[in-house]
């Protein structure tokens, strides 16, 4: 404090009052924290179990903060890629309309829609054919496994149990 009092007269008067207020407030807060935290710190030093628990809690909080930072970084890059893709698509469509004109764009889109509808119908037909083939196969298999007359079917060779 003596150091501060010796050089306080060197400060200009416009800085003197705010500087003294800030310094006195800082020292007051430090003294209050010291008086309140001293019993707590002495208990932590005397009881190592409490210190280890507090250390684990601090490590948990720090690791969760780091994980949150990593999550936010990944989320930022994903959002950036999605925004770039969206604006790229909008720009590409705009360039397409500019190059081909509105009528050419509509013709191109209708041609693409017809092409993909035909592909969808073709694949739907293949799926329906596969399903009907599987149903026929399952029906034939069920008939082959159905118990018939005595001495026929799957368990005929094994005998009566």
Does position 105 have pLDDT exceeding 70, yes or no? yes
pTM higher than the cut 0.75:
no
Is 8 part of any domain?
Answer: yes
The structural domain count of the chain equals 1
Give the residue among 35, 27, 34, 30 at the shortest CA–CA distance from 1. Answer: 27
Distances 16 to 4, 11, 26, 29, 64 between C-alpha atoms, Å: 12, 6, 15, 20, 44
The boundaries of the domain holding residue 2 are: 1-46
Is 2 part of any domain?
Answer: yes
pLDDT for 137: 83
Q: What percentage of residues in the chain have a pLDDT greater than 70?
A: 80
Is 37 part of any domain?
Answer: yes
Distances 117 to 114, 121, 124, 131 between C-alpha atoms, Å: 5, 6, 10, 21
The whole-number average pLDDT for the span 148-156 is 53
Of 3 and 124, which is predicted with more confidence? 124
Give the residue among 158, 130, 154 at the shortest CA–CA distance from 143. Answer: 154
Contact 56, 48 (CB under 8 A): no
**pLDDT-derived band at 117, boundaries 50, 70, 90:** very high
Q: Of 56-65, 74-83, 87-96, 129-138, where does mean pLDDT reach its minimum? A: 129-138
């Amino acid at each position: 404090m003596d150091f501060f009092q010796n050089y306080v007269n060197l400060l200009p008067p416009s800085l003197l009052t705010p500087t003294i207020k800030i310094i006195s407030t800082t020292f007051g807060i430090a003294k209050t924290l010291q008086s309140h935290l001293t019993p707590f710190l002495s208990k932590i030093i005397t009881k190592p179990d409490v210190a280890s628990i507090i250390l684990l809690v601090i490590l948990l909080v720090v690791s969760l903060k780091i994980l949150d930072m990593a999550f936010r970084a990944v989320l930022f890059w994903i959002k950036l890629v999605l925004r770039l893709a969206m604006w790229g698509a909008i720009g590409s469509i705009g360039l397409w309309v500019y190059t081909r004109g509105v009528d050419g764009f509509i013709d191109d889109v209708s041609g693409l829609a017809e092409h993909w509808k035909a592909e969808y119908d073709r694949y739907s037909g293949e799926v329906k054919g596969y399903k009907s083939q599987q149903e026929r196969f399952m029906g034939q298999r069920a008939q082959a496994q159905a118990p018939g007359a005595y001495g026929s079917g799957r368990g005929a060779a094994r005998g009566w149990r």
